[in-house]
A and B are shown apart, each in its own frame.
Chain A
């Protein structure tokens, strides 16, 4: 997994709440394989009209936001469906950091597994950041995961992230190897679990 430490890039504001994963990646693109055209599918029905022409009013279709690696959005970004392909679409487009007052729980978990930072800001900080980006569209935003800060011009704000997610992103860690290092604990747990509650096994107590 790609590491995340610091990033300075163009940030695109999407100042609406409840951008669910059906908006980020419409369901008909769920069939795409991982090496498929996920970048094109990102925000597809917001970015393009029915004849596949760009919708000029959508921020990501405007310069310089087209080049954004950061998106700043309203609350509850990525709520809804658990589709990890929503993260693939953002990542493949080039987005590496999302900033919002809150995220869908499954979405931010998926993001962390793919090297995409979800930075949680306070409501008023978020509004100030969006206002700053709208005032001067060409300025960059710097995100520092170690210091947990976001800097945009004179504005400097703090963001929250779960400790374990932060460690994972900073190191580019993959969980599987970590989990396998607990092999003995897992085996011991399983044996005790089934002994104490034998009914956890499907069909327990059936004669055949």
Chain B
């Protein structure tokens, strides 16, 4: 990245070039700076063990227990469900056998891998980061090239610290204008996905840019890049700037002292050159957005909260009409009904999308002094977010509103630790996927921002958060 460039390059081109070892047959062998593993990485470790191979770079590999961890563990004691205990056990054995540093169940630094990486200063600008999890795109918020991989690729990275990749195309999403108070990055993300489709960025590396992005906090950028995969993107990224550097400084694994100064000089070069070419350009005006919720079974099924459930009868495309019919049937909704008339059974605030401290503050700002009409659970994105929230008294607000305050993990985002939405129940959720059965078989999920989930809790149905924030600091 220090060489003078003759042709203007995008941020992504620079990240690609600085990790390319060799190219052949339309693919390149790329160097991996960070590899995050979790309990779900066991297939990769098994492939490695079958070959009797060793981890090539254990010092660049970090483990976090998140997907299967129980969220009611503060009381201590063994994990009750033997199958889940086995998953966490296998993870502990794998990282121990291969000399990988890990943040396990009882580590103060434990949390969801995509929250923990940035929080510990392991995720840095300019790095190539992979993890056997699609939401690895999250880490791109710091100006890294970060993407999810499958188990065979996990095994390949463990064995070689490299990966074969075809270079994605480049897409720039420019978000202009100013986002009004009470809106979150989630509203931007869902609006983008609704506009371009759940595979709108398929095969592309997305760079988010524009005034509304530059004005965002690091945490908001993490939410946005987290959702890049829901638009089908290979990865999402934001060029690092003063906000990024301030976020990184002082974190546990971040470069220190002079090394930090030196790094910031290098990182400052990580921007798209004027005149650089993108394969696709998308523009969104943030000042025209409304708070958004999903009604269907794909994140692209998102609409402003003042809208109505779509009517398949109004669709000219037969496949599309079929899709809507199937979605409404699964979701138990009636065509044409107002979104704000949809009653909910529970709420969930959590996940790598929206469970950082700012997310919890946004939800708490709406819930303070109010009571939730439905049961619900709040699971902070990491154990350290949990401690911080407790220091700020947010846990009390959630508890007093009638919600459960639990430990950190993937929890009800994917339901594999046992926290599920019962079949047929409807959940307003801060997570990233409203797929059929995502939160448990038969579960109906509406995704939205933390403030909007809080509003739904107070109202007992999907609701516009704006009237609830009048006169409050949000």
Contacts and interface: CB of A to CB of B under 8 A. Distances in A.
B232 A30 contact: no
B141 interface: no
Interface in A107-122: 107, 109-110, 113-114
B438 A82 contact: no
A22 B433 contact: yes
Contacts of A81: 133-134, 414, 433
B105 interface: no
Nearest to B122: A202
B116 to A, nearest CB: 13
B133 A82 contact: yes
A31 B149 CA distance: 18
A27 interface: yes
A125 interface: no
A50 B436 CA distance: 14
A74 B21 CA distance: 36
B153 A109 contact: yes
B322 interface: yes
Contacts of B159: 176, 179
Interface string B386-417: 00000000000000000000000000001110
Contacts of A85: 43, 151
Interface residues on A, range: 35 or more
Interface in B318-351: 319, 322-323, 326
B247 interface: no
A50 B423 contact: yes
Interface string B57-79: 00110100000000000000000
Interface in B1-30: 1-2, 18-19, 21-22, 24-27, 29
Interface stretch (A10-18, A59-67, A132-140, A151-159): A10-18
A176 B51 contact: yes
B319 A15 contact: yes
Contact of A164 (B164, B300, B442): B164
B262 interface: yes
A140 B463 CA distance: 51
Contacts of A182: 21-22, 29
Interface in A1-48: 15-18, 20, 22-23, 26-28, 30-31, 33-34, 45
A79 B151 contact: no
A202 B160 contact: no
Interface in A159-201: 162-164, 167, 175-176, 178-180, 182, 185-186, 189-190, 193, 196-201
B418 to A, nearest CB: 10
A75 interface: yes
Interface in A88-130: 102, 104-107, 109-110, 113-114
Given A84-B151, A162-B166, A179-B164, A23 B257 contact: no
A127 to B, nearest CB: 8
Contact of B60 (A18, A27, A202): A202
Contacts of A26: 437, 441
Interface in B262-309: 262-263, 266, 297-298, 300
Contacts of B298: 18, 20
Contacts of B436: 22-23, 45
Contact of B29 (A45, A179, A203, A205): A179
A5 B148 CA distance: 29
Contacts of B433: 20, 22, 80-81
Contact of A50 (B161, B252, B441): B441
A148 interface: no
Nearest to B127: A200
Contacts of B323: 16-18
Interface stretch (B198-206, B365-373, B449-457): B198-206
B257 A164 contact: no
A186 B160 contact: yes
B26 A163 contact: yes
A53 interface: no
Nearest to A77: B199
B83 A113 contact: no
A102 B202 contact: yes
Contacts of A189: 21, 31
A193 B21 CA distance: 10
Contacts of A197: 1, 18, 126, 263, 266
A81 B62 CA distance: 21
Given A45-B436, A176-B159, A79 B21 contact: no
A202 B51 contact: no
Nearest to B258: A205
A43 B423 CA distance: 17
* Residue among B151, B256, B323 with most chain A CB within 10 A: B151
Q: Sorted from nearest, which 5 A-B pairs have the closest CB atoms?
A: A205-B259, A110-B150, A113-B152, A84-B150, A199-B263
30 contacts: A15-B319, A16-B326, A18-B198, A22-B435, A28-B441, A31-B416, A84-B152, A104-B232, A105-B168, A105-B202, A110-B150, A113-B153, A162-B27, A163-B26, A164-B26, A164-B164, A167-B25, A175-B156, A182-B21, A185-B29, A197-B126, A197-B263, A199-B266, A202-B34, A202-B59, A202-B62, A204-B256, A204-B263, A205-B260, A206-B256
